[in-house]
């Protein structure tokens, strides 16, 4: 596939997980990548790999919770590559704790700043360039942005906020030929949960779910790239997720019970 050859793609949260694998797979298609995350060493390693795979790569160390850094990300990308064709809002952090057990509410603000405001900032500063290219905006959400999940109230809130923003933006930018694709992964094998805030506001340092039940990042990235290529409205990445949306319409209480059992049986 060469759909993204010479296309300028910004990927936030590119240093690990889904973002890292998206960069690798897009590099194989010859994409020009602006790689954004906080860990410069990881980004530099990824940039070398992407260029060896056939793409071009620009490292822009970025904390998406900082509006000024998101502005700089868009500006540096345009300075280096001349425009922006695709923006992938992928950076994210999470909380894994019951709300009643939280000792501080600071993690709720941190998660909202990264997951919601970070995607909003990046989109704002990239939008004029995306309108010029009739480009694509991608927002990596979660099934927790469709249905509440125990232990993830702060995370779910941030992902629901993303959905509301990007669903509205899709309507506003359609006349400019810009597409908005919402991605709703189920559980994917990444290290994000190692850094999840626990009740004490510190990273839990362990995976609360068994890896064997999760989708690999390679499969997830392939599905996401296909959805971007087709300019899909949204992508629900598991049969469980798709079934859950139908059940939610006719038996919402059942969906709640399924969500509770899924978490209880995950350890």
Which domains are assigned to the chain?
A: 8-240 (3.40.50.720)
Residues tagged active-site: 155
Which of 4-13, 51-60, 142-151, 203-212 has the least mean pLDDT? 203-212
- pLDDT score for 199: 80
The strand pair at 86-89 and 136-140 is best described as parallel
Structure confidence by residue, pLDDT tens digits, 42-71: 999 999 999 999 999 999 999 999 999 999
Beta-bridged to residue 60, according to DSSP, are: 36
Q: What percent of the chain has pLDDT over 90?
A: 68
Distance, CA of 131 to CA of 117 (rounded, Å) = 21
* 199-211 pLDDT per residue, tens: 877 776 655 555 4
Closest to 224 in 3D by CA, of 142, 113, 161, 117: 142
Residue 189 has pLDDT above 90, yes or no: no
* Residue linked to tokens 């990881």: 42
Residue 173 has what pLDDT? 98
pLDDT score of 137 more than 80: yes
Q: Which of 36-40, 133-137, 236-240 has the lowest mean pLDDT?
A: 236-240
Q: How does 96-134 read in b/e, with b if 16+ C-beta sit within 10 Å?
A: bbeeeebeeeebbebbbbbbbbbbbbbbebbbebbeebe
pTM value is: 0.88
Cβ neighbors of 136 (< 8 A, separation 6 or more) are: 85, 86, 87, 130, 178, 179, 180, 181, 228, 231
């Amino acid at each position: 596939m060469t759909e993204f050859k010479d296309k300028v793609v910004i990927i936030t949260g590119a240093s690990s997980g889904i973002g890292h694998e998206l960069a690798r797979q897009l590099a194989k298609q010859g994409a020009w990548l602006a790689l954004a995350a906080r860990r410069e060493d990881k980004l530099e390693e990824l940039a070398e790999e992407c260029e060896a795979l056939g793409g071009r790569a620009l490292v822009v160390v970025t904390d998406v919770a900082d509006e000024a850094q998101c502005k700089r990300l868009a500006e540096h990308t345009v300075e280096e590559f001349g425009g922006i064709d695709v923006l992938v809002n992928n950076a994210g952090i999470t909380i894994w704790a019951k709300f009643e057990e939280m000792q501080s509410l600071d993690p709720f603000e941190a998660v909202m700043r990264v997951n919601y405001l970070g995607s909003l900032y990046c989109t704002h500063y990239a939008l004029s360039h995306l309108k010029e290219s009739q480009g694509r905006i991608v927002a990596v959400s979660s099934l927790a942005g469709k249905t509440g999940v125990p232990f993830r109230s702060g995370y779910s809130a941030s992902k629901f906020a993303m959905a509301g923003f990007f669903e509205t933006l899709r309507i506003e930018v359609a006349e400019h030929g810009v597409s908005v694709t919402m991605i709703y992964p189920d559980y994917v094998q990444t290290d994000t949960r190692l850094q999840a805030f626990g009740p004490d506001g510190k990273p839990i340092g362990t995976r609360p779910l068994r890896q064997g039940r999760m989708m690999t990042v390679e499969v997830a990235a392939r599905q996401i790239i296909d959805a971007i290529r087709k300019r899909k409205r949204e992508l629900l990445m598991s049969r469980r997720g798709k079934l859950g949306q139908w059940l939610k319409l006719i038996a919402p209480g059942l969906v709640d019970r399924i969500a509770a059992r899924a978490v209880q049986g995950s350890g």
